[in-house]
């Protein structure tokens, strides 16, 4: 497989660095070829920087002290994000107030960064005050300091050999520079830990890495490298806490400080690029999204969630992450997309750069690959990790004395057997090197500090590097001042995450929808449950039902089996052996009068002007009857006559009746009916005989039954009449009779030739489709159904101009995708459709179907739409009947638009073929 070496150079060790000290300043490792080199930027060393690493450098007033900041430091109090300006302030502090003051000033920075500082020491110019100690004795040579950010999110690894030392963003870089071997025992330990912690986060704890002589710098500690005549000394020491914990239960004051700091930090981070938020259904990421939402909306940003299709099949958690994230994004008015978690191709570009970065150990890579492959490289991704450092992570907190054994127990989990030898290998002298006794922690809880320094410091950095491969991850909670503010609250308030809940309530972000069961799109039953959630996304399902009642107006409501209804009488007889199957909501039958005794209940009879015929229909099915015994037109459904600008059963029925009774006659009325758009069925009866036909999809399963004396639209009706399978009418022919009446028999006949009407129309594909779209847009705000594909998105330019000439503002379309998480193909289709909708700037809703079939999908779709919205479906003539059963199950009260249901389009200039294939844009629209 061909490897893009330029992409490998940009991606491997992203935003990384290698500092070679003393005699190590020779040729850099192979991984650093193509990197920028800065010899002498810091005394006694050469700095190598990955092509994307941002650097700021300043020298203090005494000209012997250099400060280098790598990455993206943020001075929240001063509103600064320029690393050079921040480095200058730190260099001045160092020269004037000493090392301790400089380190503490740096420690309070937000952002994501690594500080490197160097000074030449001599008997005349001392090295400044030592951290947490008296002034160091001056000695000739070089002193280098390395300070990580709050969570050491931009990692630091160090190794030493005689007068050679290296500090780098990855342990492999240190080992390669110094010629150090892999630590095989460390790899064995990690394998053991992975087995004992199966399914949980696993990492090498303490300071240990996978290379002999290379150790990690944990958060709240600094490195001091002293280069003197006798070699290089490397010392890692804790520098925080450098002020005692301030405890308070003044929730209002803490909340005000918390919100102000988090908002200011997030705004500064979001200003460093095009912002995006990694969003799940979790509380921390919802808070980040809520705070970042203004910057996301104004800066072209978005939220995203990655999903492994296999996880969606296996259980509920991954699905809830997607639907919960989508719900939060919609509440905040922020676009959202779903990335497909997937493994990279072996030997490809990502595989190569990933292996170089994480050698010799490869962590999970599906999410990293998805972000690298699918996200733009100008992003600043706001990642929410670190919030738990200021709330709680370790919930069970018995009294204890920290020891290597206790640290190992906490790492392995409760109930796990701990071997003292293993504990010594994991943590050994850790507590001597990084003390966590009460005096060292100055009132901070060691459980909190342990999570902060070990879980976040030893594992968390890999999460951040995963995003750095393609763009840049920044962390709103990576802020010591913010964490200290949060940690000032008592444990119960932090445990309950009151700060997060209060912020979300103030912003107006509702809690996630009720969790779904495995097979239904509706929330699982609950006692004393409030009004059910709308689909998986919204609350307020009752709004739709109230809207439906308003739409019905004076129309008769459906009656139970056997009950009469105004304007007609209900069929009520049941077949021997049990009740008949319930007809669909768009069901109808045209039968000889008096022959409906075997029909299922719930249909109403409407005698027709044609002698001896009756219509039996669902009470909510749109219908219109125009005429008398001499000439009669019946129109069912929602037809559109494009050249006449007519939408709806009644105006279309009136048009057809004029042609039938007052104009050219049956042939002309049949021809005009054949080129109607939408979902409809038409019956024409006049002196020349009768014709019945349906739309080109067809959206009804129209069949002849009872030896040709009945037309039925629903299999349940056909079965009730004992007609077997009947004779399908379909969308490519009609049925006719020479004399409709009680004894008339319908028989199939070809549709009229439409080439003449197409030529006489004087239009082309683009104009007819545009006129059709303008008519459909009047039905309500368009919501494009992407469940069967994303072809409807090509109509967006027409929708944008749909209100021209009407004096209306164009309705901003939305989209809806139906998703069965148990079906991998459905998950992939959801992702593809969502990605196209995102690129088109269209909000995509998700509706879980649970594999319940067309009826279940129709039931799930209804509450996903507001009362002023219309569902657009992309069904086309000649398509597999995937969308047609759905149409037959949707309630007639739900406005539906079918822009491709048009027999004339394939015959017009500009057509690309029959029906204009899905996913193709007519040339006139390109």
pLDDT of 548 reads 29
Class of residue 131 by CB neighbours under 10 A (exposed 0-12, middle 13-18, buried 19+): buried
More confident: 911 or 892: 892
Residues 222, 147: contact at Cβ < 8 Å?
yes
pLDDT tens per residue across span 377-418: 999 999 999 999 999 877 777 788 899 999 998 898 867 788
pLDDT of 537 reads 31
pLDDT tens per residue across span 204-219: 999 999 999 999 999 9
Instruction: Over range 769-774, report the average pLDDT.
Output: 94
Is residue 523 predicted with pLDDT exceeding 50? Answer: no
Calpha distance 496→30 (Å, rounded): 49
Calpha distance 778→209 (Å, rounded): 65
More confident: 797 or 130: 797
Predicted confidence band of residue 524 (pLDDT cuts 50, 70, 90): very low
Calpha distance 132→865 (Å, rounded): 63
For residue 84, the SS3 value is helix
pLDDT of 807 reads 57
pLDDT of 229 reads 76
pLDDT of 128 reads 41
Is residue 563 predicted with pLDDT exceeding 50? Answer: no
Is residue 468 predicted with pLDDT exceeding 90? Answer: yes
Q: Name the pTM for this structure.
A: 0.83
pLDDT tens per residue across span 166-179: 999 999 999 999 99
Total Cβ atoms within 10 A of residue 200: 10
pLDDT tens per residue across span 899-915: 999 999 999 998 765 44
pLDDT of 525 reads 31
pLDDT of 539 reads 28
pLDDT of 597 reads 62
The stretches of 510-624 forming alpha helices (DSSP H) are 541-552
SS (H, E, C) 134-155: CECCCCCEEEEEEEECCCCCCC
pLDDT of 531 reads 31
Residues 218, 454: contact at Cβ < 8 Å?
yes
Closest CA to 512 of 343, 370, 317, 381: 317
Measure the CA angle with vertex 118, ends 112 and 120; round to 5°: 175
pLDDT tens per residue across span 24-46: 898 899 999 999 999 999 999 99
Closest CA to 496 of 392, 389, 584, 390: 392
Instruction: Over range 830-840, report the average pLDDT.
Output: 90
Is residue 532 predicted with pLDDT exceeding 50? Answer: no
Instruction: Over range 485-503, report the average pLDDT.
Output: 96
Tell me which of 336-350, 447-461, 711-725, 860-874 is least confident. 711-725
pLDDT of 666 reads 95
pLDDT of 380 reads 97
Residue 30 token pair: 């192979």
Instruction: Over range 435-451, report the average pLDDT.
Output: 94
Is residue 98 predicted with pLDDT exceeding 90? Answer: yes
Predicted confidence band of residue 917 (pLDDT cuts 50, 70, 90): very low
Percentage of the chain beyond pLDDT 70 is: 85
pLDDT tens per residue across span 795-825: 998 988 776 555 555 668 999 988 999 999 9
pLDDT of 432 reads 94
pLDDT tens per residue across span 534-544: 233 322 333 32
pLDDT of 60 reads 86
Residues 248, 489: contact at Cβ < 8 Å?
yes
b/e map 647-661, b = 16+ CB within 10 Å: bbbebbbebbbbbbb
pLDDT of 701 reads 85
Residues 6+ apart with CB under 8 A from 554: none
pLDDT of 880 reads 63
* Average pLDDT taken over every residue of the chain: 86
Q: Report the length, in residues, of the chain.
A: 926
Calpha distance 137→320 (Å, rounded): 60
pLDDT of 786 reads 87
More confident: 332 or 893: 332
pLDDT of 662 reads 87
Residues 327, 512: contact at Cβ < 8 Å?
yes
pLDDT of 230 reads 76
pLDDT of 911 reads 75
Element (H, E) at 817: strand 814-819
Is residue 627 predicted with pLDDT exceeding 70? Answer: yes
Whether the upstream peptide bond of residue 360 has omega within 30° of 0, thus cis, is yes
621 CA to centre of own chain: 37
Residue 364 token pair: 């999970």
Is residue 478 predicted with pLDDT exceeding 70? Answer: yes
pLDDT of 715 reads 75
Beta pairing partners, 922 = none
More confident: 817 or 723: 817
pLDDT of 512 reads 74
């Amino acid at each position: 497989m061909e490897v893009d070496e330029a992409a490998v150079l940009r991606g491997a060790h992203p935003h990384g660095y290698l500092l070679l000290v003393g005699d190590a300043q020779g040729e850099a490792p192979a991984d650093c070829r193509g990197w920028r080199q800065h010899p002498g930027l810091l005394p006694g060393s050469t700095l190598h920087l990955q092509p994307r690493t941002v650097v700021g450098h300043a020298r203090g007033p005494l000209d012997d002290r250099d400060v280098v900041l790598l990455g993206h430091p943020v001075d929240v109090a001063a509103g600064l994000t320029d690393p050079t300006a921040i480095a200058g302030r730190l260099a001045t502090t160092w020269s004037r107030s000493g090392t301790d003051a400089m380190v503490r000033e740096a420690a309070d920075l937000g952002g994501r960064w690594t500080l490197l500082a160097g000074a030449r020491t001599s008997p005349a110019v001392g090295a400044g005050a030592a951290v947490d100690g008296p002034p160091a004795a001056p000695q000739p040579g070089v002193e280098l300091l390395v300070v990580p950010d709050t969570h050491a999110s931009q990692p630091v690894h160090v190794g030493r050999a005689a007068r050679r030392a290296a500090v780098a963003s990855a342990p492999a870089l240190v080992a390669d520079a110094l010629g150090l071997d892999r630590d095989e025992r460390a790899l064995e330990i990690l394998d053991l830990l992975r087995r004992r912690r199966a399914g949980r986060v696993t990492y090498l704890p303490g300071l240990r890495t996978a290379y002999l002589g290379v150790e990690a710098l944990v958060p709240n500690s600094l490195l001091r490298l002293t280069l003197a005549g006798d070699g290089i000394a490397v010392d890692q020491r804790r520098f925080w806490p450098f002020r005692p914990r301030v405890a308070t239960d003044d929730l209002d004051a803490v909340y005000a400080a918390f919100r102000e700091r988090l908002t200011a930090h997030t705004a500064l981070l979001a200003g460093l690029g095009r912002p995006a938020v990694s969003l799940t259904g979790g509380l921390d990421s919802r808070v980040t999204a809520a705070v970042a939402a203004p910057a996301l909306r104004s800066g072209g940003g978005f939220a995203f969630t990655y999903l492994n299709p296999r996880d969606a099949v296996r259980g509920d958690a991954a699905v809830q992450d997607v639907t919960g994230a989508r719900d939060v994004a919609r509440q905040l008015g922020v676009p959202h997309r779903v990335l497909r978690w997937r493994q990279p191709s072996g030997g490809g570009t990502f595989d190569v750069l990933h292996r170089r970065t994480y050698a010799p150990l490869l962590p999970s890579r599906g999410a990293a690959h998805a972000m690298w492959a699918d996200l733009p490289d100008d992003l600043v991704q706001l990642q929410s990790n670190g919030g738990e450092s200021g709330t709680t992570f370790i919930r069970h907190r018995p009294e204890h004395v920290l020891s290597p054994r206790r640290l190992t127990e906490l790492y392995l989990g409760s109930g796990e057997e701990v071997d003292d030898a293993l504990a010594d290998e994991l943590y050994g002298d850790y507590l001597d090197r990084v003390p966590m006794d009460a005096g060292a922690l100055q009132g901070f809880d060691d459980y909190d500090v342990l999570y902060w320094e070990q879980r976040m410091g030893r594992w968390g950095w890999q999460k951040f590097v995963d995003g750095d491969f393609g763009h840049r991850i920044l962390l709103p909670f990576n802020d010591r001042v913010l964490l200290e503010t949060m940690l000032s609250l008592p444990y119960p308030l932090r445990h309950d995450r009151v700060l997060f809940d209060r912020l979300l309530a103030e912003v107006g972000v509702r809690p996630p929808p009720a969790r779904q069961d495995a097979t239904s799109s509706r929330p699982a039953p609950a006692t004393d449950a409030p009004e059910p959630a709308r689909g998986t996304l919204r609350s307020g399902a009752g709004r739709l039902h109230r809207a439906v009642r308003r739409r019905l107006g004076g129309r008769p409501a459906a009656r139970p089996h056997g009950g009469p209804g105004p304007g007609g009488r209900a069929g009520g007889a049941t077949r021997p052996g049990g009740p008949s199957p319930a007809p669909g909501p768009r069901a109808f039958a045209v039968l000889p009068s008096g022959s409906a005794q075997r029909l299922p209940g719930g249909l109403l009879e409407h005698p027709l002007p044609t002698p001896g015929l009756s219509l039996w229909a669902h009470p909510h099915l749109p219908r219109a009857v125009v005429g008398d015994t001499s000439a009669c037109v019946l129109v069912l459904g929602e037809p559109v006559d494009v050249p006449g600008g007519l939408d709806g059963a009644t105006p279309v029925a009136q048009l057809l009746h004029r042609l039938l009774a007052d104009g050219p006659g049956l042939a002309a009325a049949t021809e005009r009916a054949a080129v109607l758009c939408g979902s409809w069925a038409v019956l024409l009866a006049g002196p020349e005989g009768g014709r019945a036909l349906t739309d080109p999809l067809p959206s009804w399963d129209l069949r002849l039954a009872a030896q040709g004396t009945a037309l039925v639209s629903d299999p349940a009706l056909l079965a009730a009449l004992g007609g077997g399978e009947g004779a399908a009418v379909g969308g490519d022919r009609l049925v006719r009779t020479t004399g409709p009446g009680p004894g008339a028999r319908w028989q199939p006949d070809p549709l009229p030739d439409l080439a003449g009407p197409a030529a006489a129309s004087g239009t082309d594909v683009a104009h007819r489709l545009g006129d059709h779209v303008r008519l459909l847009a009047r039905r309500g705000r368009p919501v494009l159904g992407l469940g069967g594909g994303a072809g409807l998105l090509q109509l967006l330019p027409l929708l944008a101009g749909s209100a021209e000439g009407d004096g209306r503002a164009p309705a901003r379309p939305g989209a809806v995708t139906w998703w069965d998480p148990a079906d991998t193909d459905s998950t992939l289709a959801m992702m593809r459709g969502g990605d196209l909708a995102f690129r088109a700037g269209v909000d995509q809703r998700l509706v879980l179907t649970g594999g319940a079939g067309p009826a279940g999908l129709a039931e799930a779709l209804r509450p996903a739409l507001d009362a002023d919205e219309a569902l657009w479906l992309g069904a086309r003539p000649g398509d597999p009947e995937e969308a047609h059963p759905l149409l037959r199950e949707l309630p007639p009260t739900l406005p539906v638009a079918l822009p491709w249901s048009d027999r004339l389009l394939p015959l017009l200039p500009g057509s690309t073929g029959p029906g204009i294939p899905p996913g193709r844009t007519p040339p006139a629209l390109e």
